């Protein structure tokens, strides 16, 4: 499979998931509001924490995706929260929930990705493009292809659904789906998709730096904006996503 063909299949499934999420957008928004019906029973236990809100948000998204019956779920212990097989690929999808107050800068430029969620092995470099001493090589746990070099070979694809919300009222501000490059694309993107995390073995996916399928003729975006609240007080800081939505 050529690098261009890898980007074509990445784009193919990015579009499929985007159109599915747009199709169920009303159901998503209704699902996010169901917490209000029983608010007095849970509010006193809510600690304004990202992990607390993420549990509920993930429940809605994954219920819709699982209910669609996309592909065959895979029971491998190494993988993203949603991991399944389709005719021509193995697909990993993970959900990232971010609080707008205090974390907006990170959200618009990069997201944390786990080793079980991507296949992009490369050197992690400093912000100025130089190497750490000693050099830091990122080792993800996913392969670029499952059953590589056999007649059962299938590409491994990584996607992330990002949700931005306000901690003051738990309103949803933005939902995106992102395609992180397959590890074979290191031949083109080099170290650009990776940003050093807080710990030596942690990385972030630099979505602002690598937000297009650069090898494809139309340079399609690797980011699809599913929902954007243009009336949010944070909208001016979400220019990247606003520009993508407006085409």
Angle at 179 between CA 16 and CA 229, to 5 degrees: 80
| CA pair distance 204, 156, nearest whole angstrom | 19
Residue 228 belongs to some domain of the structure: yes
CATH number, position 11:
3.40.600.40
Question: How far, in Å, CA of 29 to CA of 163, rounded?
Answer: 12
| pLDDT bracket for residue 77 (50, 70, 90) | confident
Angle of the 3-23 helix axis to the 50-68 helix axis, nearest 10: 100
- Is residue 169's pLDDT more than 90? no
Question: What domain range includes position 231?
Answer: 3-111+151-183+211-245
Instruction: Sort residue 158 into left (φ over 0), alpha (ψ -120 to 50) or beta.
Output: beta
Note the pLDDT of residue 140.
96
Q: Using an 8 Å Cβ cutoff, are 58 and 125 in contact?
A: no
Q: How far apart are CA 20 and CA 43, in angstroms?
A: 32
* 201 — pLDDT class (breaks 50, 70, 90): confident
Q: What is the mean pLDDT of residues 6-32?
A: 93
Nearest one of 73, 63, 59, 54 to 24, comparing CA atoms: 63
User: Distances from the Cα of 23 to the Cαs of 6, 16, 58, in angstroms?
Assistant: 26, 11, 18
- Is residue 190 included in any domain, yes or no? no
Q: Residue 162: which pLDDT band, with cuts at 50, 70 and 90?
A: very high
Beta strand residue intervals within 87-214, DSSP E: 89-99, 111-113, 122-125, 131-138, 145-146, 154-165, 172-180, 194-196, 203-205
| pLDDT given for residue 63 in this prediction | 87
105 falls within a domain? yes
Report whether 159 contacts 178 (CB < 8 A).
yes
- In the chain, the number of structural domains is 1
For 101, residues 6+ apart whose C-beta sits below 8 A from its C-beta are 166, 167, 168
Q: 166 pLDDT exceeds 90? A: no
Q: What is the mean pLDDT of residues 203-214?
A: 95
Enter the pTM of the model: 0.92
pLDDT at 4 over 70: yes
Residue 17 confidence (pLDDT): 94
Q: What is the pLDDT of residues 43-70, one digit of tens each?
A: 777 665 555 677 788 888 888 888 776 8
168: in domain: yes
Residue 124 falls inside a structural domain: no
In a domain, 197, yes or no: no
- The percentage of residues in the chain with a pLDDT greater than 70, rounded to a whole number, is 96
What mean pLDDT is reported for the chain? Answer: 90
């Amino acid at each position: 499979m050529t690098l261009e063909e890898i980007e074509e299949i990445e784009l193919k499934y990015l579009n499929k998931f985007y159109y599915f999420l747009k199709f169920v957008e009303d159901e998503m928004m209704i699902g996010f509001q169901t917490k209000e019906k029983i608010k007095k029973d849970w509010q006193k236990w809510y600690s304004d924490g990202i992990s607390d809100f993420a549990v509920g948000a993930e429940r809605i998204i994954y219920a819709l995706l699982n209910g669609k019956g996309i592909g065959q779920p895979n029971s491998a212990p190494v993988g993203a929260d949603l991991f399944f097989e389709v005719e021509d690929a193995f697909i990993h999808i993970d959900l990232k929930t971010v609080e707008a107050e205090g974390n907006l800068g990170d959200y618009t430029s990069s997201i944390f990705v786990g080793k079980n969620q991507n296949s992009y092995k490369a050197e992690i470099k400093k912000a100025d493009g130089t190497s750490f001493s000693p050099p830091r090589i990122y080792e993800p746990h996913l392969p670029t292809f499952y059953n590589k070099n056999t007649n059962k070979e299938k590409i491994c694809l990584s996607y992330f659904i990002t949700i931005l919300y306000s901690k003051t009222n738990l309103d949803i501000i933005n939902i995106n789906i992102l395609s992180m490059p397959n590890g074979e694309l290191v031949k083109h993107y080099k170290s650009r998709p990776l940003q050093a995390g807080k710990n030596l073995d942690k990385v972030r996916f630099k979505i602002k730096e690598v937000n297009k399928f650069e090898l494809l003729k139309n340079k399609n975006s690797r980011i699809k904006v599913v929902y954007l609240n243009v009336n949010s007080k944070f909208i001016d800081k979400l220019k990247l996503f606003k520009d993508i939505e407006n085409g």
